[in-house]
Amino acid sequence: MIKTMVSSDRLCHAFILCGERGVGKRTLGKYMAAQILCEGGTGLPCGKCKSCRMIKNDAHPDFMTAKASGKSGNYLADDLRAVISDANVAPNEGSRKIYFLPGIDKALPAAQNVLLKIVEEPPEHVCFIMTAESKDKILPTVLSRAIVLNIDVPSEEECLEALLSEGVGKNDADNAISIFGGNIGRCLEYLQDDEAKKLPQAVDEIMDCLISGDEYALLKSLSSLEKDRELCLDVLAALKTAIRDAAVQKLGGRLYSVCRDKAKALSGSVRKSALQQMYDDITSAETKINGNASPVLCLSDLCGRLSINR
C-alpha cells in the first residue's frame, strides 16, 4: 500500500500502527519512513542511498521522533505544539518531513486535540506515523483523519526464525516463545533483561490464585505490585489478555497470553459471564491507576471483585 502511494505521489498524511507491545510497530514505522524518503522514489527502500543510510543510523534530519515529557511517558500539549511549530518549516533533504509519534494512545485528550489541528490541515510536505497499543484511547476525530494499520503478532515459526537470526540459542528461543508466543519484541526483552522476567512470573502467580480460588494468596500477589507502577500496569494488561484467552478457549479461538496453559485451566473452572466481568474489572482498575488513583486501593478493590466474580 505504501509503495503504491509513494510511486503514484499520493501519500496519505497520517498513519496509526496499532498492535500490542513488542509486535514491531517502531520497526515498521522506521521501514515506512525509508519507503517514503528513499531517493529512488519507488516506494521500496534501496538501503544504499544517503536517505536510507541516514534512517538506518537514526540520523535523518527529516525523520523526527517526538519526545513525550509526561511523568507516565505520555505526551503533554506542549510536546505536540513543538511538533506543529516545526512542521511548518520546509524539509532539509528531500520533499517530505516525517514525524514519528510512538504511543499516541498515551496522550491525554488535550494533547491529542493540539495534534488534531495539524492532522486536519497538514502542510503538503508533512507525514505523521503514529503507534498505539489501543485505538480505544485515541480520539475519534484523530482516528478519522489517519489510516489505521492493525499489526498482527507474527507466527511462532516466524518468531523463532527472527530470534535465531539475532543469535539466540534454540532452547532459549523455544522457552521465550512458550511464554510470549510470536511476539518477537517481548521475547527479546525477556531474554535480554532480567527485570522483564518479573512480568510472566507475576501473571502466572495471579492466574494460579484465580484457578484455585485462594483469595488471600491473590491479595498477596496483587499487593506485591503496589510499589512498581509500570510493572503493575504491565501485569494488568497481560492479565486481561490471559482472561480474554480463557473466554476464547471456550469458543476454540487462538490464544495469545503469556500463560496460555493457565488460561485454559481457568476456562474450565469459571463461567464465560464471570470471565467477562473479570476482564471489565481489570480494565477498570487499569484505567484508575493510569489516572493516578492509589494503586494500593485499586488493587485491594480488584482482589475483592475478582474473588466475588469467580
In this prediction, residue 303 carries a pLDDT of 94
Q: Beta-carbon neighbour count of residue 227 at 10 Å?
A: 10
Q: What is the mean pLDDT of the chain?
A: 90
Q: What is the pLDDT of residues 277-295, one digit of tens each?
A: 999 999 999 989 877 789 9
Topology of 193-309 in CATH?
Zinc Finger, Delta Prime; domain 3 (1.20.272)
Radius of gyration in angstroms for the set of CA atoms belonging to the chain, rounded to a whole number: 21
Q: Spell out a b/e string for 244-257, using b for 16 or more CB atoms within 10 Å of the CB, else e.
A: bbbbbbeeeeebbb
Q: What is the pLDDT of residues 99-116, one digit of tens each?
A: 999 999 989 889 999 999
Mean pLDDT of 242-262: 83
Q: Spell out a b/e string for 116-143, using b for 16 or more CB atoms within 10 Å of the CB, else e.
A: bebbeebeebbbbbbbbbeeebbbeebb
Please state the CATH superfamily assignment of the domain spanning residues 2-150 in this structure. P-loop containing nucleotide triphosphate hydrolases (3.40.50.300)
* Every domain of the chain and the residues it spans: 2-150, 154-192, 193-309
Question: What one-character-per-residue DSSP string does the chain give?
Answer: -HHHHHHTT---SEEEEE--TTSSHHHHHHHHHHHHH-TT-SSS--S-SHHHHHHHTT--TTEEE----STTSPPPHHHHHHHHHHHTSPPSSSS-EEEEETTGGGS-HHHHHHHHHHHHS--TTEEEEEEES-GGGS-HHHHTTSEEEE-PPPPHHHHHHHHHHTT--HHHHHHHHHHHTT-HHHHHHHHH-GGGGHHHHHHHHHHHHHHHT-HHHHHHHHHTTTT-HHHHHHHHHHHHHHHHHHHHHTTT----STTHHHHHHHHTTS-HHHHHHHHHHHHHHHHHHHTT--HHHHHHHHHHHHHHH-
**Is there a common fold for 2-150 and 193-309?**
no
Q: What is the pLDDT of residues 149-171, one digit of tens each?
A: 999 989 989 999 999 999 999 99
Mean pLDDT of 175-192: 88
- AA identity, residue 226: E
Mean pLDDT of 259-265: 85
In this prediction, residue 181 carries a pLDDT of 81
Report yes or no: 203 and 239 within 8 Å, Cβ to Cβ: yes
Report d(CA 105, CA 124) in Å as an integer: 25
In this prediction, residue 310 carries a pLDDT of 63
Q: What is the pLDDT of residues 19-46, one digit of tens each?
A: 988 999 999 999 999 999 999 989 999 9
Q: What is the pLDDT of residues 41-60, one digit of tens each?
A: 899 999 999 999 999 999 99
